[in-house]
């Protein structure tokens, strides 16, 4: 029973193909042959091209979220946990070329409005991480009192917008500078006792 493993192999092939050609230009045959099988067999694992694509993107987004979750797990201070989360999540695509290429070719993967977000369930998971941190900050008195749900949505929107500008529109480093400047300002807006950036942790 290594069907799951085989699926994963297909997804690894698919992300390469979709990264190179985009959803429309990529053919199911391309993916199948890259995965070392025929199209007919690929359909044994996936119902349709659309499902294959969605599973591929999902797989990438889940890894992203998991990577952030584990990056902040050991951090004790709630404000630092938030800060590191915001920076690491933002920088993630720098080291994940394939996913980044897929996103560049399909900007709608990042949607600002929940109802047109095909991957909203995954984003909800990412927002959960953020919401947890905000909640902990509020109950521990480190953060100002706030409507945590609305604040989560607000901050997540800002985060997604800058992802779009940096990676979908490829506006480069000036956007990153702006993001960091804005992040420090927002950290001050969250923390009751002020906030200053911790020293760089390579």
Partner DNA sequence: ATATTGACTTTTTTACCATAATAGTCAATA
Partner DNA sequence: TATTGACTATTATGGTAAAAAAGTCAATAT
- How far is 67 from 60, CA to CA, in rounded Å? 11
Residues 6+ apart with CB under 8 A from 164: 107, 110
Q: Judged by CB under 7 A, which of 15, 19, 26, 168 binds DNA?
A: 26
Binding partner selected for residue 77 from DNA, a copy of itself, none, CB under the kind-specific 5 to 8 Å limit = none
73 binds a copy of itself (CB under 8 A): no
Supply angle C-alpha 100, 101, 107, rounded to 5.
80
CB of 149: closest distance to a copy of itself in angstroms? 9
Which CB sits closer to a copy of itself, 139 or 185? 185
Residues numbered 50 to 79 that lie near DNA (CB under 7 A) are: 50
Stretch that binds DNA, among 40-48, 56-64, 115-123, 138-146 (CB under 7 A): 40-48
How far is CA 178 from each of CA 20, 87, 90, 185, rounded to the nearest angstrom? 30, 12, 12, 11
158 binds a copy of itself (CB under 8 A): yes
The CB-side HSE value for 18 (13 A sphere, CA atoms) comes to 25
Binding partner selected for residue 186 from DNA, a copy of itself, none, CB under the kind-specific 5 to 8 Å limit = a copy of itself
φ/ψ (deg, to 5) at 170 = 50, 50
φ/ψ (deg, to 5) at 184 = -60, -40
φ/ψ (deg, to 5) at 2 = -110, 35
Binding residues (CB under 8 A) for a copy of itself: these are 112-113, 115-116, 144, 146-147, 150-151, 153-155, 157-158, 161-162, 164-165, 169, 171, 177-179, 181-182, 185-190
Residues lying near DNA in the complex (CB under 7 A) are found at 1-3, 6, 24, 26-29, 37-41, 43-44, 47-50
């Amino acid at each position: 029973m290594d069907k799951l493993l085989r699926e994963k192999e297909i997804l690894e092939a698919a992300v390469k193909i979709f990264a190179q050609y985009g959803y429309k230009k990529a053919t199911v045959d391309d993916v199948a042959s890259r995965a070392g099988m025929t199209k007919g067999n690929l359909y044994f694992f996936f119902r349709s091209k659309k499902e294959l694509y969605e599973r591929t993107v999902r797989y990438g987004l889940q890894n992203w979220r998991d990577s952030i979750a584990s990056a902040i797990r050991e951090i004790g201070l709630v404000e630092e946990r938030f800060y590191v989360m915001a920076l690491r999540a933002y920088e993630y695509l720098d080291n994940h070329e394939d996913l980044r290429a897929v996103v560049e070719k399909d900007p709608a993967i990042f949607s600002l409005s929940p109802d047109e977000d095909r991957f909203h369930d995954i984003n909800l998971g990412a927002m959960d991480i953020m919401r947890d941190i905000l909640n902990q900050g509020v109950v521990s008195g480190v953060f100002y009192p706030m409507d945590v749900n609305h604040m989560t949505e607000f901050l997540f929107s800002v985060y997604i917008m800058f992802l779009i500008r940096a990676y979908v529109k490829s506006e480069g480093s000036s956007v990153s500078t702006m993001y960091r400047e804005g992040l420090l300002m927002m950290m001050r807006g969250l923390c009751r006792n002020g906030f200053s950036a911790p020293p760089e942790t390579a």
